[in-house]
Structure formats: structure tokens, C-alpha cells
Amino acid sequence: MNRISRRMLSGGLVAGLSLLAVDANAQARSGAWTRNAAEGEWHMPGRDYSLQRFSPLARINTTNVAGLKASWTFSTGTLRGHEGNPLVIGNVMYVHTSFPNIVYALDLSKEGAPQIWKYVPQQSPDAIPIACCDLVNRGTAYHPSGKIYINALQGDLIALDAKTGKELWKVRHPERSGTQVEAITYKDGATITVAPIVIKDVVITGISGGEFGVRGRVSAFDANTGKHLWTGYSTGPDSEVLISGDANSNYPSHKGKDLGVSTWQGDEWKKGGGTTWGWYSYDPELNLFYYNTGNPGSWNPDQRPGDNKWSMTMFARNPENGQVKWAYQMTPHDEWDYDGVNESILFEKGGQKLLAHFDRNGIAYTVDRTNGKVIVGRAYGPINWAKADIDLTTGLPVRDARYGTTSKKNTEGICPAAIGFKDQQPAAYSPITGHFYVPANHICMDYEGVEVKYTRGQPYVGAIVRMFPGPGGHRGRFFAWDPMAGKVVWDNPENLAAYGGALTTAGGLVFYGTMEGWLKALDQRTGKLLWKFKTPSGIIGNPMTYTQAGKQYVAVLSGIGGWAGIGVAAGIGAEDPTAGLGALGAFGDAGQFSTQGGVLTVFSL
């Protein structure tokens, strides 16, 4: 580099980047929902309540990211899939693992980040076969009083002392059965993989188990004592779903009493799925928290005629009493396992309070988060089960009957597959560009319903699925999305699914990981690859960034697994393409690209 170039880099260009960072900081703090995270720290799964996964840090940027190097690593000691990301509070990093859901506290103020404490929940190994799609955990939560919360697979919400790792209390979700209230357990088919959310002095968490006929719900507990505060069900009468009046006055199909019962045949709602294992966001100005519910049970649609409310639904609830402000069902009478739990990301445009949601069904929704009215509903991939645009008048998808499913035949060539064009891997938003950055799958399928009988605690799936690569032959993609125009801005294909989350920064970068184990940094505006690093295992975790002693770091968990990587994580052979609930048909060769292993890798300049 010549002297003039050095002068430009150290002078005008750096000044320009500083202005960019200042502007990004101002935009990032334009709403109260983004003000709850210290600039150089990471206090919750999405960094702040918005789930934007945007950091105002800009020391690592488009001009210097090529010099990023591995700074230190940490082995988690477990081998199954590693989703989620660490938290950083002050000088301490909190790292979680797959089953048995260990929590580590690491001292970032010392070289190599030595361990401060380690907590291992006491769990029954009998919970292992109850988990649907790998033994993952999506992260911890933090309360300013000095508590860390972790969900254990077998069904426990656990509070720990953040300084010592001492267990403070442990509780389980209650379940209503007539006038009786009992705690759920893995023996009932219910597990927990979701990261809880802390709002004021309330901890809210959900459950998994839609493939075991579990009735989905979220429950709230006192953050200090663990006392149960309320439970809001996904199905059932309004009194248990906590709906008062119409669920959504914008759409006729959402008006009426007890739709969580009347849109099901008989008592199918009692084993109706709608589980809540995705990500949670919160708007302090509206005092509403947002989450989505999963697929109805069983996967065989012939066994449950009707819209099957409120599975496949966005909910906005008051966090203190659970009352529903509004609900919006994305895929009524789901016939494809388009599990709707993907995150709702809060943002603003033109003074409107909005949220964006990239559903497994292949449609991206831009929604007025004050009232649940859909503003944009357009496909972000080559879907064929419905038209590319939803009907904005009715709020309903316009289906193509040729790709409906039944137990009477095998429906072939459905796009997307049950794993969706995006699964749990969270997207990120940049206030610099106004675009979303979406790690995605690119998978289609054949699907045949199968009659299945319900037995408590036993699998209740009811379908045979075979997945395969989507149009063009690739199995993943990473793209930028304009939420108001409803269109792709730029698009990069991936051989395997981009099954890890995204991170945007004020340095103009977007980071994401691949199942092969590459952590990549792209230019937000163009999608150009600026840097990549091969981590020890496939990445299904979410990159995050923080500062320590004035230096910026980027960290990511690697450890292949989840639904897409279940073949490698659980050692399932690729001989049967329907194994792993169909995932082996698409990802049976994932073991050629990655091996097991949970490792945290931390990078710096």
C-alpha cells in the first residue's frame, strides 16, 4: 500500500466510517425497543428486544474485515447441535450447550477467557428420544438483578446466580386438565428447547412437542421467585387462549368466539400442537410481546378438518397477564408442517410500527404490529402450494389444490419442504439499508399423510416426507429482502442450507454461518463476500459481537445438528431418504462436509 493510500485509509475513509457508525447508532436507537442493550454487550438472544440482531459496533467494517483472525476458542463438551448464541454482560460471557444444557460463565477480562463457573442441570436421559429434531437449546436469558435463566430439555426453567452459577429455583410449565393443574414433563411428550425472554420482572417461555400431540402454550413466571403467573394456550377456548373479543378485527376468518375449539374436529384441539419453540420479541412502548406458534398435530390433515386455530399463528400478548392484543394465522389448516414459529422482528418505516416474519411456508410478512394487519405478504422463494402473494383483503394465502396433501396419495414436488424455505435460523435487520438479511433453506418435498392414533407421550406425526434440493439444485441461500417492496435485493446460493442465524453491524457487514462450517462476512449493500473462516463443525448457531477493553470481537457457536443436520448429529445413515422426518433425503451427505463437535470460536482484528 502506498503512502497516499495509507493517508486515505487513516483519514477520510475512516472519518466516513465513523459518520456511518454514528448515523447507524442514531437509527438503531430510534425506537424504545432497541434501547435496552449496552452498545458493546449482548444481553439477550437477539441482542435487544427487537430481535433485529443489529449491533452499533463498527470497529470491524467493510474495509478491514479481511484481516479478521481467530482470537480464542472454547470447547463446550457436548456433540449435538448448537443453536443460539452466547450472552455478554460486562466482562462475563455466558455460553450454553446442547443436552444436557450446560451453562458456562467465562471471564472476558483475562487472556483466553478462563472459566468462572459451570452449571450442569440434572436431567433424565429418557428425555433424549422425546426431542423431535435434535437435542438443541437456543440460549439463555438475563435479569438485571443478577440471574441467568436456562431451559432444560426435560421441561425445567432454571434460574441461576449469574456470579456463582448456583441454582436458585427450578419450575415446570403447568397444564390445565379440567379443574386440575399439573406440571408437564417429557413423559407427556413435551420438551423445551426455546430461549426464554425476560420482560421487567417476568420470565416467559414456551414448549416443544408438536410431534407428540402436545397442546402448545407459553407460560410466565416471576423472575425472582419462579412463581407461575399465567399460561396462554395456542388452542382451546378463548378463556384458556386468553382472548377477549375478536382475535383480529381486520379479517372475517379471525372473528368469533372460541375459534380455538370450533375450527377443529371434535376434541382434536386438545392434542393440537401449536408449540412455541421459536424466538420472542417485545415492544416496551406498546407493552406487547410477540411470538409465533407451530404446526397442528398430526401432520395428516385428514384427521383434523378446519382452520385449526390458533396453530401457525402470530400472537401479540401483554407480558404481565398474557391477554391477547391480536392474533393472525398464516397457514390455516396446515397440510405441510409449515411450523410457524420463526421470529417476528420489530422495525419502523415511515412512522409505522411494523414487524417482519419469514415463515416456513415461504412467505415473508410485513405486519402492522399494533393491530395484526398484513401490509405485505409475498413469497421470498419459489413456492407452489399457494400463489406468491397472499390476499391482503382476507389475509389468507391463495392455495393451489394440486399441492395439497392427504393420506389418500403421495403429493409430489411441493415447494417448500416441511423444513421450510427458512426454519429457526434467525434473520437480521439493518437500519443502515432498511433491509433484512435472511439465512435460508432451498428444499422441496414429497408428502403423504398417514393415519395415526394418539397415545400420550408417544410420537404423533402422521406423514411420510421425502425432501430434496429446490429448483437449481442448491439446498440453501442467503439473501437481502426489502420488507416494503416485498422483493429480493440480492441473493447468494449455498450448497447446503444456511442453517445458522445472521448478524448485522454498523460497520456495513452481515455475518452468517453455513452447515459446512464457514462463517462468512458480506457487504450489506451488495452481498459481496469479504471474508470467511472454516470453523470446526457445521454452524447452526447465530453470530454475535461485543467489545472488551475497547476491542471488537465476533463470536459464533459451531456444532452441526438441528433438523437439517440430524443425520450427522444423531449418526443416522442416509440409506432411507424419509429418515429424520424427511431431512436425510436432502441432507444425507452432510457428513461429507462436517463432523460433530460443539466449539465457540471468537474473532478479532
Active site residues: 337
- Among left, alpha and beta (phi > 0; psi -120 to 50; other), residue 33 is alpha
- Spatial distance between the Cα atoms of 53 and 172, rounded to a whole number of angstroms: 29
Cell 375459534 sits on residue: 259
- Strands lying side by side in the sheet with 487-494: 428-430, 435-441, 476-482, 487-494
Closest CA to 199 of 119, 296, 286, 80: 286
Phi, then psi, of 571 in degrees rounded to 5: 65, 35
Cell 457428513 sits on residue: 591
Q: How far is CA 390 from the centre of its chain?
A: 23
Which residues are CB-contacts of 289 (< 8 A; sequence separation ≥ 6)? 197, 199, 204, 280, 281, 282, 283, 316, 317, 319
3-state SS class at 148: strand
Cell 393491530 sits on residue: 371
* 26-35: long-range pairs with CB below 8 Å, 24+: 27/431, 27/432, 28/52, 28/54, 28/56, 28/431, 28/506, 29/56, 30/348, 30/431, 31/283, 31/285, 31/346, 31/348, 32/283, 32/284, 32/285, 33/281, 33/282, 33/283, 33/284, 33/285, 33/346
DSSP secondary structure of 264-303: SSTTGGGG-B----S--EEETTTTEEEEE----S-S-GGG
- Spatial distance between the Cα atoms of 260 and 85, rounded to a whole number of angstroms: 34
Strands 54-55 and 502-505: parallel
Helix (H) or strand (E) holding 512: strand 509-513
Helix (H) or strand (E) holding 168: strand 167-172
Written as nine digits, the cell of 147 is 440471574
Cell 433425503 sits on residue: 585
CB atoms within 10 A of CB 516: 19
Written as nine digits, the cell of 87 is 450472552
Kindly report the three-state secondary structure assignment for every residue of 329-375.
ECCCCCCCCCCCCCCCEEEEECCEEEEEEECCCCEEEEEECCCCEEE
Would you say 216 and 273 are in contact if contact means Cβ atoms under 8 Å apart? yes
At 417, which amino acid appears? A
